[in-house]
Structures are given as structure tokens and as C-alpha cells.
Amino acid sequence: MKTLFRSLLSLSLIIWIGAEIFFPVVAAITFNTLRPDTHTAGTIVGQLLRILHGMGLVAGMVALAVLALAPAWGIYKPRAVLVPMVLLVLMIAATAYSQFGIIPSMERDRITAGGTIDTAEPDNPTTIHFNKLHKRSELVEEAVLLMGLVTVVLVALAETTRS
């Protein structure tokens, strides 16, 4: 049972953090391939981001559940999983904020701008707001990735201090 729990924890972190690491690569390739049509590229990347967030929310909940149960099963010491659990909660919250807050607001801005943000003037308030949200989205994804990497290190540390 301990091996199953540790495997579930590792797999959930690998899925989420791996997707976070490779998402910018996929986005860059999409935009470079579709350079003249940034609207289509943005639509594709937006859909991929929604999938990434769905995977992250499920993987985060699995990892959180495993870490919550791990001390009861004698897998990790309770104090060793406290900080990774806090980081996972923050990662889940940031992902939910991006998925259910930032992305819908960007979509509203895109529609307000006439369906394509590229056609709006750069000094248009809608375009400015869209770009601000885009930058915020990037920062949120970077924060999730950083917290995920720290979580992996802390779980590895918990592994070395098992009871």
C-alpha cells in the first residue's frame, strides 16, 4: 500500500509539473507555426491551457489526498508533509484562479475587441486589459511551476526522513 501511495503521489506530481514545463514549448511552437494567424494560435493555446488546468486540478487533488493520508499510513511524518500540502493548496488555488478567473475575463475582452484582439488598437482599454491579464496568466503559471518544483524537492526530503 505504501508503494501505491508513493507511486500515486509521484505520478500526480510528474503529470502536473511535466505539463507545466512543456506547455511553454508547445505554445511557442504553435505561435511560430501559425505566426500570421495569431488568433488561431491563441485559440489553440487557450484550449491547451484549459486542458492543462484540468489535468493540474485533478493531479493536485490526488497529490493532496495522498499527502493527507500518508502520515496515517506511516508513509511520511506529519510535519514532513505540511509544507508540501500548503504548496499544493496554493498551486490548486492559483490554477483555479487562472482557469475560472483570468481565462474567462480574457475571453470577454477578446469578444469585446470584436472577436480578435489583434484587430483592436494597442491603446484600446480592452486590449490593454487583455495584455495585462495575459501577463498575469504567465506569472501564475510560472508561480505554479516554481511551487511544484519546490513541492517535489520537499517530498523527496520527506522520503529521506520517513519514520
- 45 burial via Cβ count (<10 Å: 0-12, 13-18, 19+): buried
What pLDDT digit, counting tens, does each position of 27-73 carry? Answer: 888 878 877 777 787 888 889 999 999 999 999 999 999 999 999 98
Q: Say how far residue 122 (Cα) sits from the centre of its chain.
A: 28
Residue 50, C-alpha cell as written in the block = 484549459
**Measured distance CA(86)–CA(64) in Å, rounded:** 9
Residue among 5, 6, 2, 17 at smallest CA distance from 147: 17
61 vs 24 pLDDT, higher one: 61
**Measured distance CA(142)–CA(144) in Å, rounded:** 5
Residue 41, C-alpha cell as written in the block = 494560435
Average pLDDT over residues 127-142: 94
Average pLDDT over residues 143-155: 96
pTM above 0.75, yes or no: yes
What pLDDT digit, counting tens, does each position of 76-123 carry? Answer: 899 999 999 999 999 999 999 999 999 999 999 888 877 777 777 878
**Measured distance CA(30)–CA(45) in Å, rounded:** 7
